[in-house]
């Protein structure tokens, strides 16, 4: 009798994300089992329970999905799960905390595409600023951009100490160099925009981070991308479905274009679905994180 496909959804938070549960169901998993409040020290035991209960053939139909909000913790959980396996008893693991990996990968891939159209170059050597860079999507975005060769600054709205702490941790964990700063005022934001080539806006929903006057101070801006789909949007003048439309308020950067939240979200949805389907169709275990997500997003855009 053929084994049914099972995805065990492990989340350090007090509840699992309905978004991820819906995505797993629509991708075709037969059984979706949510586990909230899971701690790192529980991962090894849960992994071994999952691999040894179904035999090698059943293990191919078994997946761990790691959620939560902290990208570092999600990576630790993924690595712990991998180390807890004993071939041929191996299962697939997909880490995507708060959708941060698939969202960030989609955002960077979309921006990279438009940047190549304008400059015929990728992110290597560009000056990148990530507003909301201390949240899970922002930090994942910054890491991906830095790994592509960008000089990347993460911005916290209130605390430079928070930005410095996360930049240092990400640098050690992912072997990247991130600049850290804070920007609470329009003057602070304008200073950062004055020599930025690319801006990612990954701040909280419903907050306009970059207004008309701040955007006017950008002198060499090429592309901006926003993930806020709740009005007011994160970047003034940027449409929610824009994909390479002129950024009207960047008057001193006439070539600048923008990518709106639903344009990014459309790629993110396709990407997460494709990664879940990859797991279902694979004859061997696969281990997916932000790096695999960025590879997949590039193909989609």
Per residue in 255-297, pLDDT (tens digit) is 999 999 999 999 999 999 999 999 999 989 999 999 999 999 9
* Contacts of range 203-207, beta carbons closer than 8 Å, 24 or more positions apart: 203/131, 203/132, 203/135, 203/138, 203/157, 203/228, 203/234, 204/132, 204/135, 204/228, 205/229, 205/230, 206/230, 206/231, 206/232, 207/232, 207/234
3-state secondary structure of 182: strand
- State how far Cα 81 lies from the chain centre: 21
Question: From the CA atom positions of the chain, what is the Rg in Å?
Answer: 20
The mean per-residue pLDDT over the stretch 105-129 comes to 97
The mean per-residue pLDDT over the stretch 12-24 comes to 96
Q: What is the pLDDT of residue 2?
A: 75
The mean per-residue pLDDT over the stretch 24-52 comes to 97
User: Is residue 40's pLDDT more than 70?
Assistant: yes
User: Is residue 142's pLDDT more than 90?
Assistant: yes
Instruction: With cut-offs at 50, 70 and 90, classify the pLDDT of residue 238.
Output: very high
Nearest to 92 by CA among 272, 284, 273: 284
Q: What is the pLDDT of residue 1?
A: 57
User: Is residue 27's pLDDT more than 60?
Assistant: yes
- Distance (Å, whole) CA 23 – CA 217: 41
Instruction: With cut-offs at 50, 70 and 90, classify the pLDDT of residue 57.
Output: confident
Which domains are seen in the chain, by residue range? 6-99+267-300 (3.40.50.10280), 102-264 (3.40.50.720)
- Distance (Å, whole) CA 131 – CA 218: 15
Cα dist. 133→28, 158, 165, 171, 192 in Å? 34, 12, 12, 14, 13
3-state secondary structure of 246: strand
- Distance (Å, whole) CA 218 – CA 237: 14
Output DSSP code: residue 148. Answer: T
- Token look-up 């804070």 returns 182
User: Is residue 130's pLDDT more than 80?
Assistant: yes
CB 174 within 8 Å of CB 201: no
CB 220 within 8 Å of CB 244: no
pLDDT of 181-214, one tens digit each?
A: 999 999 999 999 999 999 999 999 999 999 999 9
Q: Could you tell me where the DSSP H helices lie in the chain?
A: 18-27, 43-52, 55-59, 71-83, 100-119, 136-147, 160-174, 186-193, 212-215, 261-281, 290-300
CA angle 234, 239, 245 (to 5 degrees): 115
- Distance (Å, whole) CA 30 – CA 175: 38
């Amino acid at each position: 009798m053929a084994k049914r496909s099972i995805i065990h959804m492990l989340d350090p938070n007090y509840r699992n994300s309905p978004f991820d549960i819906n995505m797993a169901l629509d991708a075709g998993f037969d059984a979706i089992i949510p586990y909230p409040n899971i701690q790192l020290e529980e991962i090894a035991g849960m992994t071994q329970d999952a691999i040894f209960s179904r035999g090698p053939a059943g293990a191919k139909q078994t997946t761990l999905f790691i959620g939560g909000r902290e990208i570092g913790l999600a990576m630790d959980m993924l690595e712990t799960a991998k180390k807890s396996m004993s071939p041929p008893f191996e299962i697939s693991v997909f880490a995507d905390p708060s959708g941060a990996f698939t969202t960030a990968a989609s955002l960077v891939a979309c921006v990279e595409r438009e940047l190549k159209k304008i400059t015929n170059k990728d992110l290597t050597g560009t000056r990148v600023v990530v507003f909301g860079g201390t949240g899970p999507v922002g930090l994942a975005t910054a890491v991906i951009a830095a790994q592509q060769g960008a000089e990347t600054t993460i911005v916290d709205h209130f605390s430079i100490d928070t930005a410095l702490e996360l930049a240092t941790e990400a640098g050690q964990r992912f072997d990247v160099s991130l600049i850290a700063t804070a920007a609470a005022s329009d003057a602070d934001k304008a200073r950062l925009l004055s020599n930025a080539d690319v801006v990612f806006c990954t701040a909280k929903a419903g907050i306009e981070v970059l207004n008309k006057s701040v955007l006017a101070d950008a002198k060499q801006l090429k592309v901006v991308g926003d993930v806020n789909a709740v009005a007011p949007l994160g970047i003034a003048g940027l449409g929610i479905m824009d994909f390479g439309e002129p950024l009207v308020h960047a008057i001193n950067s006439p070539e600048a274009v923008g990518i709106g939240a639903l344009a990014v979200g459309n790629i993110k949805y396709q990407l997460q679905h494709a990664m879940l389907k990859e797991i279902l169709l694979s004859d061997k275990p696969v281990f997916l994180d932000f790096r695999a997500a960025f590879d997949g997003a590039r193909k989609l855009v």
